Amino acid sequence: MMAYPEKYYPPVTPQSVQVCSIQFSKTDRIRINGIPNFPENLIPIVRTAIETGWTKGIQSEGDFHGAYEFKVSGNPWLGRTEDGVNARRLLSSILLHLAREGWVHLQSFDPSKKSNDKDTMFFEYQQPDPEAQMFAISFNDTDKIRLIDTPSSSSWLLDTFRDTVTSSWPKGVQDERDYYGCSEIKLKGNPWFTSDGEQSIAAKLLLCQLIGAFRKIGYKLYASVDITGRWGNAASGGNSPTENDLDVWVLRRVTSIWY
């Protein structure tokens, strides 16, 4: 038996620890792996999440050097316009289906120095949360922010998003529109790509305001994930950092299971 330092109490029995990873690779791959044994039960969960969140479906699936790989139709991790929005829906769907089955997101991390590489998400198995709900916020181009895939009965989430952004960005809003089924606000200035100190500080404060506003109505920031690679869109002909998107935020509803 492992000896622990005095006054140290392990939170779980070592035998019960289950950790898995979900890797986003190339422009169209999703890979599953985990310990202490490969989590076979995750395959149908992730398959359902893909079928729910990505309308183009799955092209093929199977073993990949001991991991399990899904190759989806299309290129979600290179996606712009409609595919770009749907890629964020796919991310939310994966996180949601895993959470409902008890897999809690720990951290997202890019463990590779390859160009155009994306994050790998890490999860620990805890307790299923059948009441879990999630939505995404994405930060696009140099001045856009999008609210994606909120529950259909929760119009107050859109109101919170709109009110917080318009009241918290000092330069104001340039435009607002429906963008492939999500709500997009185009800000004046360039909050996501600026060397102006005032704009830079205001952009971080805007993000704090968003986290705080959604926390007040029962949602917490759950994951921040890079699904495109910092220079990802260069692969489709772009060569400017202004063409590359930032991390996607996924917010999760607070419940009696997760809080």
Residues 205 and 105 both lie in one domain: no
Residues 20 and 121 both lie in one domain: yes
| Omega before 36 within 30 of 0, i.e. cis | yes
Angle between helices 197-216 and 155-168 (to 10 degrees): 150
Task: Supply the pLDDT for residue 74.
Answer: 95
Average pLDDT over the chain, rounded to an integer: 91
Task: Supply the pLDDT for residue 79.
Answer: 78
Q: Pick the more confident residue, 52 or 117.
A: 52
Query: Are the CB atoms for 71 and 59 separated by under 8 Å?
Result: yes
Run of H or E residues at 87: helix 81-100
Domain-embedded: residue 230: yes
Task: Supply the pLDDT for residue 14.
Answer: 61
Task: Supply the pLDDT for residue 115.
Answer: 76
Tens-digit pLDDT profile for residues 146-178: 999 998 778 899 999 999 999 999 999 999 999
Domain span including residue 234: 134-253
Question: How many domains is the chain built from?
Answer: 2
Domain-embedded: residue 155: yes
Task: Supply the pLDDT for residue 15.
Answer: 65
Tens-digit pLDDT profile for residues 10-69: 666 666 899 999 999 999 999 999 999 999 999 999 999 999 999 999 999 999 999 999
Q: Is 19 exposed, middle or buried (0-12, 13-18, 19+ CB in 10 A)?
A: middle
pLDDT at 236 over 50: no
pLDDT at 240 over 60: no
Tokens of 101: 């089955």
| Location of structure tokens 């997009």 | 184
Domain-embedded: residue 153: yes
- Enumerate residues 6+ apart whose C-beta is below 8 A from 210: 137, 161, 164, 165, 168
pLDDT at 205 over 70: yes
- d(C-alpha 90, C-alpha 100), whole Å: 15
**Mean pLDDT on 61-84:** 95
